[in-house]
Amino acid sequence: MIDGAGVSRFLADEEATLALGASWAASLNAPLTVYLQGDLGAGKTTFTRGLLRGLGHSGAVKSPTYAIVESYPFPAFTLHHFDLYRFGSPEEWEDAGLDDLFGSRSICLIEWPQQGGGFTPAADITLSLNHAERGRTVTLTAHTPQGRKSLEAWLN
Ligand code: ADP
Ligand code: MG
């Protein structure tokens, strides 16, 4: 069941994380907000890099740790990749005016969403990456009808 419990997969290596990201590109529809959960080095930025490659982005994909957000325009939507790791307090969300980036044509992927406290918009999907003995496990959970639709189109 996609809702509630979530779907888990094993990702043996970096290539598997990139491939999972790329495989989502064809079924991605805006608006969508995705929380990327997991420790430092879990693969959140790697997953996003794979998704952007799958969408046809051929340039660099920088970790937004210092910039807070990197935005990538595509014909149907703009993908905003956030990293709130360096937030000193949740109010930085408001100071940076990040709500302006959420809209009907936005796909928002957010690393360290908890750093934004109550300011971070709710997620349609949570993608949680965890270190395994070798590789990673990923768990995908939908929280809204839009999130469920996206996961079903992607994983079926
Ligand atoms: P995060 O954004 O979560 O801090 P990064 O994506 O920047 O993590 O870094 C993840 C690191 O783990 C990279 O060195 C990458 O090569 C590696 N990695 C990614 N996916 C896997 C995997 N499935 N198995 C083993 N190593 C992985
Ligand atoms: Mg990262």
**pLDDT at residue 3, as a whole number:** 52
Which residue's C-alpha comes closest to atom 16 of ligand 1?
A: 14
**Tokens read off for 127:** 């993608």
pTM of the entire predicted model: 0.96
Do β-strands 125-131 and 32-37 pair in parallel, antiparallel, or remain unpaired? parallel
CB distance 13 to ligand 1 below 6 Å: yes
H/E stretch holding 152: helix 145-155
* Residue-wise pLDDT tens digits, 26-60: 999 999 999 999 999 999 999 999 999 999 999 99
Query: Could you tell me which residues are beta bridge partners of residue 82?
Result: 69, 110
**pLDDT at residue 66, as a whole number:** 86
Residue with tokens 């994380």: 17
Pick out the chain residues at pLDDT < 70: 1-5
Q: What distance in Å separates the CA atoms of residue 8 and residue 66, rounded to the nearest whole number? A: 30
Residue with tokens 């100071």: 95
CB distance 48 to ligand 1 below 6 Å: no
Residue with tokens 């080095």: 41
- Number of Cβ within a 10 Å radius of residue 71: 14
Which residue's C-alpha comes closest to atom 7 of ligand 1?
A: 45
Tell me which CATH code domain 7-155 carries.
3.40.50.300
**pLDDT at residue 4, as a whole number:** 61
Query: Could you tell me which residues are beta bridge partners of residue 109?
Result: 34, 81
**pLDDT at residue 65, as a whole number:** 86
**Tokens read off for 96:** 């940076």
Domain ranges of the chain: 7-155
- Number of Cβ within a 10 Å radius of residue 152: 13
